[in-house]
Structure 1
Amino acid sequence: MTVRDDIHGQIIAGLKGAKFPINTPEKLLAAFPAGADTTCRSGDLAVTAGEAGKLLTAADFPFKDAKQVADTIVDRAGL
């Protein structure tokens, strides 16, 4: 499994119980189990939801599902 696939899967898993659509960055962070402190790890890479959220813009919202969130974050992070 690649780092990209690993982080992508962890983001989707972290948003498993989230109610979509999610319309704001604040609601997205609140949807993660530990909020902005939720951490995805793969090998030596660790990224928090708060750090990943900085890659998003207002134009990215609303998100319709967890896959869309994960796709956007891993693409912007260059994973």
Structure 2
Amino acid sequence: MFPSPASRIALSTGGVPSGTSSSNPRLFVRHPRLAFFTFALAGVGATFKYVSTTIRNNEVAQKSSPGSQFYVSVDRSGGGI
């Protein structure tokens, strides 16, 4: 009926009362900048992973292709022009 002293303290300090879960699905609705930042960070991570996988796959394909005796990795070739 009445809130417990612990839940009153949690509510007055901005904390989560003891009877509720801290994973609130409305968190991103209440903080749209946090949602945008989270999704942007996930997108940057996914893009980085995609590019690194593509570079690795191209390197393996060049190394195992016919005529690969002339293959020199970028690390050993001097880096370009």
TM range (shorter): under 0.3
Q: Which structure is higher in helix share?
A: 2
TM-score by length of 1: 0.22
Q: Which structure is higher in strand share?
A: 1
Over alpha carbons, which structure has the higher Rg? 2
Higher relative contact order (CA 8 A, sep 6+): 1
